[in-house]
Amino acid sequence: MMKRLTWFAGGVAAGAAGASYAKKKVKEKAAQVSPAGVARSAAERAKQTAAHVFDAVREGREVMNQHEDELKAKRDGRLVTLAEHVAPGDQVFVDGVEVESGRVIVMRPK
């Protein structure tokens, strides 16, 4: 008899806890699919997308400016590639790391 009462009490407690958890989850989902929840979610996604677009534009401008500086240096004769100054088979190191000589560009100040 005591065993059955223990199992019954455990089942009631588990059922109550499960029902409470389920009720909480249903309320959360209902709030998400409500018009206000959908609007909030859409606004959040729009903000994230705008931030990504602004970051991409900023990065694009940085690359554009760098490329423009290289082109101006080339036009003004301030651009020197190491490929012009190293013999085949020579090793080129930048900050202790070996690199291809054609990938290194030296820009002299004006």
| The model's pTM | 0.48
H or E element at residue 57: helix 35-76
Q: Say how far apart CA 9 and CA 15 lie, in whole Å.
A: 10
Q: Say how far apart CA 108 and CA 81 lie, in whole Å.
A: 11
Amino acid at 37: G
Residues in the chain: 110
Over 70: is that where the pLDDT of 110 sits? no
pLDDT per residue over 36-74, tens digit each? 878 888 899 999 999 999 999 999 999 999 999 888 988
| pLDDT at res. 58 | 97
Higher local confidence (pLDDT), 106 or 60 = 60
106 contacts 82 by C-beta, under 8 angstroms? yes
Q: Say how far apart CA 72 and CA 109 lie, in whole Å.
A: 12
Q: Say how far apart CA 13 and CA 9 lie, in whole Å.
A: 6
| pLDDT at res. 88 | 74
| pLDDT at res. 98 | 81
Averaged confidence pLDDT in the chain: 84
